[in-house]
Amino acid sequence: MKITFNIFSILIFLCTIHSVSAQYGNGYGNGYGSGRGNGMNQMGAMSQRSEPEKPKETPPEEIVANYMEEMKPALSLDELQALAISNVLVESVKAQGRISKLNLPQEDLMTEYKLLSESTDKKINDFLNKDQKEKYLTFKEDMKKPKKSKSKDKKK
């Protein structure tokens, strides 16, 4: 009788542990508990949900290639000039990325960006002839202006 009682007690104890364990995600599905179960699976799923997805950064080369598509015909650049200016612009975009990651006050960031812009313009101007320098100033001004969308042109 005592042996039967002990076996019965152990079975009840084991069943109780199993049902408690299931509440914490160790048994059935994700469970209802504090999320301590299932090790990496559940914790991994929780961290994926809580972290916002970071937008993929566009590589500097792609940014510069798009810019050069407009700049090359506007300034009548030859291939050597286009290559040299592309290299300068890639370095400038990379430097902008480094500057943006600095923990500086807004005013200091603007100063750094302005210095970088002036340095980049000076390097670009070194590759241009007199006519191209004038076109470059006009091109920069045009790039600052917002472009009109095609849908507005169609409505007129």
Start-to-end CA distance of the chain, whole Å, equals 98
DSSP notation for 45-106: HHHHHHSPPPPPPPPHHHHHHHHHHHHHHHHT--HHHHHHHHHHHHHHHHHHHHHHTS---H
The pLDDT tens digits along the chain (156 residues) read 677 766 766 766 665 555 555 555 555 555 555 555 545 554 555 445 555 666 777 888 898 999 999 999 999 999 999 999 999 999 999 999 899 888 889 999 999 999 999 999 999 999 999 999 999 999 999 888 876 655 554 554
Query: At CA 64, angle to CA 79 and CA 89, rounded to 5?
Result: 80
Looking at residue 18, what is its pLDDT? 53
- What pTM, to 2 d.p., does this model score? 0.59
Looking at residue 156, what is its pLDDT? 47
